[in-house]
Chain A
Amino acid sequence: MTTTYEPNQVLSTKEFKVVGTRPIRHDGVDKVTGKAQFGADVFPTGLLYGKILRSPHAHAKIKKIDTSKAAAMAGVKAVMTGRDMPETPNVPGEERRITLGELSTDLKYLREQVMATKRVLFRGHPVAAVAATSPHIAEEATKAIEIEYDVLPPVLTAPEGMADDAPIIHDDVFTDELGEKQTDKPSNVAEHFQHKLGDVNKGFAEADVVIEREFNTSTVHQGYIEPHTCTVQWNKDERVLIWNSTQGPFNVRDSAAQVLDIPISHVRLTPMEIGGGFGGKFEPYGEPPAAILSKMAGGRPVKIVMTRTEELECTGPTPGSYIKCKIGATKEGKITAMQAHMAYEAGAFPGSPVGAGAMCVFAPYDVENMLVDGYDVVVNKPKTAAYRAPGATNAEFTSETIIDEIAEKIGMEPLEFRLMNAAKEGTRQADGAPYDKIGLVEVIEAMKDHPHYNAPLEGKNRGRGMALGYWMNAGLQSSVNIAVNQDGTATLVEGSPDIGGSRTSISMQAAEVLGIQAEDIHPSVADTDSVGFSFGTGGSRTTFATGWAAYKAAEDVKQQMIERAALIWDVDADSIEMEDGVLKSKSDPELKTTFKELAGELNSTGGPIIGRGAVDPKGVGVAFAGLIVDVEVDPETGKVDVLRVTAVQDAGKAIHPSYVEGQMQGGSVQGIGWGLNEEYFMTEEGVMANSTWLDYRMPLALDLPMIDTVIVEVANPGHPFGVRGVGEVNIVAPPAALANAIYRAVGVRMERLPMKPQTVLETIAAQKG
């Protein structure tokens, strides 16, 4: 080939003036100069430092807590235990659901997770907290708190928790069986649900090839670089001020208020810049204790910054899982049945992402017979939190590995096999509604067309693997206000923390409507007193939903600008149109002005103009992605080197292609880390043995090649610019693509994540002798 190779391609289907360009992000200069204020960068007057004392045991009864020595130490201003937390009324049959990003929980569990009262359920479970004049004094004081425990045996994996003789973690958790009844004995299985389509027994009977395998995946962490941090001040007027690092300012405002048993409007949460989240920063961890400590200390602000070990041991990882997956197909290449049994670790309290995983496991395929059984299993590990397409990566690792194996058995090229069975508009999944317009076929075609797919791969122990990924994305509520400035620019106020350039992708949608430049919009992420409710930055929703709110707010401004021009020109508003920032009469060519000129006249012609956008959009566009990866396996050590990666994804419409590529590259690399390195290495006692970044090894620059991208654009009919969420689906395909590449390299089928050297060697020994 003689054409120049483009590492980052955009297969654009519709062009706009601002949307689809690559302006410098609005917060960029602050972030490259060190001026951006992140969670830990606030120092209000009178600041105290909080520290949480945590359980050394994975499962134990608390017999006695004595805080007297800690309270007497110089510099200590407050000491609290679970007894200082408000009681949560536990009304039988009356749940108080709390939204935690893409997951949710019952208030009584969240309260107990924030600080234990009677029993500790995971290593690192908070049991007490101290506020002092320095972080070192606070840490010393926590060590002076004396606690007696009765240690209980821990349950550490879903299969262990489901065993008949498993220790029971909660005496008030009963199995919700198929949404119909509850078991009469307490169980570690909080829920068993089923999605059913057609008849899998009939489907498997029609198959020429049936493959069934059992898979185990390890617990992994989101690994955001900035730890959770919060500063909380309980004022004398009973207002609680929070400055923190969160994906969901309104979500944490609400959940923290509920845990503290105060009205949500008593909390003002100011979201600082956030150093990554990936789903893990939707929960209140330090905020309620810091609030109570602040109140005890007379209203002085209390800052709690988690250590990295606290992050790994105590904040939401994503679950380890056991999945049995079975797929059958005819020798002509038609998939006849797909079945999965999925058991996910919820962590210490019910609520794993197994439900989402079950919706994703077979999502790329149009198959008549499907059966998925999901189990939510409590174990003595930290409560799981959302992590980028939560539940999907575990699930699709298993199905996409078996798809590859069946393709091989029937002698079909794996992408052709996928294409032949690919879901399309109207395809119904086992869990319900048929797809609206989707871009799966286009993604597979783009993979086939890519130079990477067609390049020869030479050398021993090398292999190329492919896999698909699906994620459903979220909509949910967002609010945006836009005010027109006299100099012809506009300020935009939104409530979605900017984790990856979303100030800009949101502003660009407003700029497109107003016919001005992206740089003419000045966006800010406001505190919870200053903008309407906005669900957090997660679920790949921000550019979609908050962008939509910005679109609506801009349309509102546009209409008011037209009406103002009508007033000035003394004509009917219907006779004026505004396009590309120019307002003109449809009939009189003399009547013409620009957005910028008119903006300068607003104050003298009736006053300022502000636009509002408040949305709860329903037209969420689901996302498909694919990954092509080349690896080299060292058969002596089992180490897998990643040689080349190409990520393909349907973005609907890439508002800012650079930041869409960034999501694809970052998600791919998180998926590579999950696939090859990352795991919670637990001792039998339930202690994480690798709770630092030296030992919990995330991918480094040196581990990776460049990550090439192809953005496919199949417009989402449910969004004004065709946007689909782009943040999450890219993490899903890598583990399966790597497993399929390892198969091509050394001829073994991987059934465990991570596919670390030891696992690769053991698999080679087991399958090849």
Chain B
Amino acid sequence: MPQKTSVTTHINGEEVQFLAEPRQSLLESLRDTLHLTGAKEGCNDGNCGACTVEMDGRIVDSCLVLGVEAEGSEINTIEGVATPEGLHPIQEAFLENAALQCGICTPGFIVASKALLEANPNPTEHEIRFWLAGNLCRCTGYDKIVRAVADAAGRMSS
């Protein structure tokens, strides 16, 4: 069995240590080792975005990052989006706009949308669609997701 490496990282603001084989993806480390199952596996080859997490200020498909690459990094996952005070405005907007059906893509969309609104607090419809083109949703046709992100932008700016 391949030797495991000890990885020290910060996940949702907490220091976390875990062991990873060199061949294990960050997604696998999050889900199977740390049981942070909010990031989802849809394709495991970087096409669907269901495993999107924020890594050192940038959103990545965690299936395309190795677990050992997380050494020393700051990772934020869907589990860290809501705070003890309550839901994030994007989460509220997704609920109120019915922007999810099955919900498997939702964590990835919320993590990606949060990064969008932090970079661009007032995006146009086209900018929302462009930013979210790395996240596949097969249920909604994207309409209500685009509305929710625009709605969240309004909530966050007011």
A and B from one complex: yes
Chain A residues with CB under 8 A of B107: 34
- Chain A's closest residue to B98 (CB) is A658
Partner of A693, one of B31, B45, B101: B45
Interface presence of B14 (CB below 8 A): no
Q: A38-B40, A500-B101, A701-B133 are in contact. Are A33 and B140 (CB under 8 A)?
A: no
Q: A275-B104, A501-B98 are in contact. Are A34 and B136 (CB under 8 A)?
A: no
Chain A residues with CB under 8 A of B129: 700-702, 704
From B40, B94, B135, name the one whose CB has the most chain A CB atoms within 10 angstroms.
B40
Chain A residues with CB under 8 A of B96: 24
Beta-carbon contact of A225 and B100 below 8 Å:
no
Measured in the bound complex, the distance between the Cα atoms of B105 and A134 in whole Å is 25
Chain A residues with CB under 8 A of B42: 225-227, 275, 308
A1 to chain B, nearest CB (A): 22
Binds B, one of A233-241, A378-386, A604-612, A665-673: A665-673
Beta-carbon contact of B133 and A702 below 8 Å:
yes
Q: A31-B106, A276-B138 are in contact. Are A693 and B48 (CB under 8 A)?
A: yes
Beta-carbon contact of A32 and B94 below 8 Å:
yes
Chain A residues with CB under 8 A of B79: 33-35
Measured in the bound complex, the distance between the Cα atoms of B106 and A227 in whole Å is 15
Beta-carbon contact of B102 and A308 below 8 Å:
no
Chain A residues with CB under 8 A of B71: none
Within A621-673, which residues are at the interface with B (CB < 8 Å)? 658-659, 661-663, 665-670
Within A56-107, which residues are at the interface with B (CB < 8 Å)? 74-75
Interface presence of A613 (CB below 8 A): no
Beta-carbon contact of A662 and B144 below 8 Å:
yes
Measured in the bound complex, the distance between the Cα atoms of B131 and A702 in whole Å is 9
Measured in the bound complex, the distance between the Cα atoms of B83 and A584 in whole Å is 46
Partner of B95, one of A32, A227, A307, A659: A32
Chain A residues with CB under 8 A of B65: none
Measured in the bound complex, the distance between the Cα atoms of B83 and A562 in whole Å is 45
Interface presence of A43 (CB below 8 A): yes
Q: A32-B106, A225-B42, A692-B43 are in contact. Are A662 and B139 (CB under 8 A)?
A: yes
Beta-carbon contact of B139 and A226 below 8 Å:
no
Chain B residues with CB under 8 A of A43: 32, 35
Beta-carbon contact of B78 and A225 below 8 Å:
no
Interface presence of A266 (CB below 8 A): no
Beta-carbon contact of B138 and A692 below 8 Å:
no
Measured in the bound complex, the distance between the Cα atoms of B94 and A135 in whole Å is 34
B32 to chain A, nearest CB (A): 8
Beta-carbon contact of B104 and A276 below 8 Å:
yes
A49 to chain B, nearest CB (A): 9
Measured in the bound complex, the distance between the Cα atoms of B78 and A652 in whole Å is 38
Beta-carbon contact of A659 and B101 below 8 Å:
yes
Chain A residues with CB under 8 A of B66: none
> Chain B interface: which size bin?
35 or more
Measured in the bound complex, the distance between the Cα atoms of B43 and A275 in whole Å is 13
Interface presence of B60 (CB below 8 A): no
> Chain A interface: which size bin?
35 or more
Q: A34-B78, A136-B23, A662-B98 are in contact. Are A273 and B44 (CB under 8 A)?
A: no
Interface presence of A685 (CB below 8 A): no
Interface presence of A29 (CB below 8 A): yes
Interface presence of A278 (CB below 8 A): yes
- Chain A's closest residue to B23 (CB) is A136
Measured in the bound complex, the distance between the Cα atoms of B67 and A136 in whole Å is 14
Chain A residues with CB under 8 A of B16: none
Interface presence of B119 (CB below 8 A): no
Measured in the bound complex, the distance between the Cα atoms of B95 and A24 in whole Å is 6
- Chain A's closest residue to B139 (CB) is A666
Beta-carbon contact of A670 and B38 below 8 Å:
no
Q: A32-B110, A305-B41, A693-B48 are in contact. Are A700 and B104 (CB under 8 A)?
A: no
Beta-carbon contact of B43 and A666 below 8 Å:
no
Measured in the bound complex, the distance between the Cα atoms of B79 and A666 in whole Å is 27
Within B25-84, which residues are at the interface with A (CB < 8 Å)? 28, 31-32, 35-45, 47-48, 50, 77-79, 81-82
Beta-carbon contact of A669 and B43 below 8 Å:
no
Q: A32-B91, A34-B39 are in contact. Are A701 and B101 (CB under 8 A)?
A: no
From B45, B94, B95, B140, name the one whose CB has the most chain A CB atoms within 10 angstroms.
B140
Interface presence of B21 (CB below 8 A): yes
Measured in the bound complex, the distance between the Cα atoms of B104 and A227 in whole Å is 10
Q: A275-B104, A669-B141 are in contact. Are A693 and B38 (CB under 8 A)?
A: no
Partner of B98, one of A22, A670, A704: A22
Interface presence of A482 (CB below 8 A): no
Q: A225-B42, A662-B144, A666-B140 are in contact. Are A275 and B103 (CB under 8 A)?
A: yes
Beta-carbon contact of B44 and A500 below 8 Å:
no
Beta-carbon contact of B139 and A500 below 8 Å:
yes
Measured in the bound complex, the distance between the Cα atoms of B130 and A292 in whole Å is 46
Interface presence of A707 (CB below 8 A): yes
Beta-carbon contact of A35 and B38 below 8 Å:
yes
Interface presence of B137 (CB below 8 A): yes
Chain B 1-21, CB within 8 Å of chain A: the 1/0 string?
Answer: 100000000000000000001
A-B contact pairs, 6 of them (CB 8 A): A33-B87, A40-B41, A226-B102, A275-B42, A500-B101, A666-B141
Known: A24-B95, A706-B143; 8 extra A-B contacts, CB below 8 A, are A32-B94, A34-B77, A35-B79, A226-B104, A308-B42, A658-B98, A659-B98, A701-B146
Contacts from A to B (Cβ < 8 Å): 22, 24-25, 27-29, 31-38, 40-41, 43, 74-75, 134-137, 222-227, 273-278, 305, 307-308, 499-501, 658-659, 661-663, 665-670, 692-694, 698-702, 704, 706-707
The 6 closest A-B pairs by CB, nearest first: A34-B38, A275-B104, A669-B141, A34-B78, A31-B103, A658-B98
